[in-house]
Structures are given as C-alpha cells and as structure tokens.
Amino acid sequence: MQTCIIETISEFKKWRAALRQDQTLGLVPTMGALHSGHGYLIESARRECARLVVSLFVNPLQFAPGEDYATYPRDLESDLAFCTGRGVDILFAPGEQEMYPRPQRTFANVEVLSDGLCGQFRPGHFRGVATVVLKLLNIVGPDRAYFGEKDAQQLALVRRMVMDLNLSVEIVPIPIVRGEDGLAYSSRNQHLTPEQRKVASALYRALQAADRMASVVEDPTQVKEAGLAVLRQEPLIRVEYVEVVDPEEMQPVERISGPVRIVGAIWIGSTRLIDNVLSEGMGKTLRPGENKMRRK
C-alpha cells in the first residue's frame, strides 16, 4: 500500500472526517529524516491502530536563533518511502506557511517541566514544542499519539499538557532504540564524522555508570559525578549537563528514594546529542516496561 501524502490542513480534515468512528487513529509526530527509532514508533503504532498518520513538520518555533533549523535534514521522498514500507496510511506534511499562515500570537507553555535541562540551554524551545504538538493533536484528532522516550523532557511535558488541558488522546511512550554500541538513534547522528560517531557512544556509557552508582548511593551528586567521569575521558565531548531528576516533573532530586531519570546532553563538534536512562535507584521496582530498550 502506497502511503498517501497530504500537505494541507483542509485536505487532511476531509480525510479525517471520512473515517469510521470505530477506527482507532494513531499519530506519530516527527520532523522527518526518519530512522530506525522512528520506525519502531511507527511499527508499535501500526500494531495498535486501525489507521495511522505520521506527521512531518520541521517546526521553526522550537529552534532558537543560531540553531540548526536551516540545515536540519529534509528528504521528503525518502521519508515517504520509509512510511510506505511500514504501512502508514497518511504522511501529513504541511509547510511552514500552512501551519503558521500568520505571525503566531498564541502559544502553549508547560511551566516548571520546561524550565531546566534542555529548557535552560534552549530558551523558548519547549514553548515551540508544546505549541506545535497541541496544533497537531487538534488537526489530526488521534486516539493515540506515540512519542519516544529518548526525548524524555518532551515526553513528560506533552503528557502534562494533555492532562492539564483535558485533551482526548492517549500519549503512548516508546522505548529508546539504540545501535549496537548503545548510541540512541537520532536524526542528528548523520552530522557526526566517523571519529565523532565512535566517541558519541560515551554518553550512554556515562548514563550506565551513573545508573550503577544510583543502585548503591542516595546522593545524586555522586551519581552525576560517576557519569561525568566517563565523559571527561573523551576530549571531543563538551558536556552541557548531566542531571538526576524526578521522572514526571523533570526536576533535580535532593535524594534518590525511588525511580529517577538520569539525563544528559553533550556536544561533539557542532552536533548536540541527548540521552537518558530510567534508574531503579537502590533496588526500587519500576512500573512494567519502563526500562526496556530496543537495539537494532
């Protein structure tokens, strides 16, 4: 089955209106440059939903001046083939003028959850994320929307927005997909040189070291130091942050008394990478499926 591409909101709404009410509609929001991580989201959604939409929109609102909006990978033909090979019904690919026909005056902002971590280093980023996700949920009207756990802060923020605004959609988290060396799949990985690609896996090793430390101590400072010690061994890496946070509020914890999210962001050259692990802490039990990881 060839995936159908729709580029306007009006045309998409006509397609949406023609669906039977008993058909579960899934949405996988993306910015394109689709890879194995997206593939796992799409495959998960395809198993659970009668009809499936993948959105493709490089959202200018979430890029600060000087970030890589202009150079963000774009290959519509390749992404369409990727979706066709995985049974996607619709690739919704609106342009910037379609999504923002006038200067945007209305924004979604999730307080507290967007303040630290990536929010601290990318001012306005999560306001842009929340705004475009809210627009997509309103346009597509999915029963379920699928988000990867690699962007843990984004996932927590979207979940909270859906809860606070009483949106009629189920947010489905999907485990991180990694290469054999542990590096999480990301559209930005393609910017890495072969040498940088070898070094990049240190981020996951650092998070694993921090996770091991969290299993024997309650002090988050010691946990962070265990991760930073790994990263300091790689001169090509510039650390932006390593932090131990509450999994729902994404705020730093003073003591590890239960499950925590250990998160990190680094730069290798001009490429920024993020990753995280959900740690059990000192023998605490996680909810089923929370620490699963998919390798490819």
Q: Which residues contact 142 (CB under 8 A, 6 or more apart)?
A: 25, 26, 27, 53, 169
Q: What domains can be seen in the chain, in order of their start residue?
A: 4-177 (3.40.50.620), 187-286 (3.30.1300.10)
pLDDT at 153: 98
Query: Active-site residue numbers?
Result: 38
Per-residue HEC secondary structure of 214-238 comes to: HCCCCCHHHHHHHHHHHHCCCCCEE
Give the C-alpha separation, 43 to 74, whole Å.
22
Tell me the pTM: 0.93
Q: Residue 84: which region, alpha, beta or left (left: phi > 0; alpha: psi -120 to 50)?
A: alpha
Across the beta sheet with 260-268, the strand order is 237-245, 260-268, 271-279
Give the C-alpha separation, 210 to 260, whole Å.
11
Contact yes or no for 156/248 (Cβ under 8 A):
yes
pLDDT per position in the chain (296 positions), as tens? 899 999 999 999 999 999 998 999 999 999 999 999 999 999 999 999 999 999 999 999 999 888 889 888 899 999 999 999 999 999 999 999 999 999 999 999 999 999 999 999 999 999 999 999 999 999 999 999 999 999 999 999 999 999 999 999 999 999 999 999 999 999 999 999 999 999 999 999 999 999 999 999 999 999 999 999 999 999 999 999 999 999 999 999 999 999 999 999 999 999 999 999 999 988 653 443 444 455 55
Which amino acid is residue 136, in one-letter code? L
pLDDT at 282: 84
pLDDT at 71: 86
pLDDT at 61: 96
Give the C-alpha separation, 132 to 209, whole Å.
35
Give the C-alpha separation, 12 to 139, whole Å.
8
The DSSP letter of residue 19 is S
Which amino acid is residue 68, in one-letter code? D
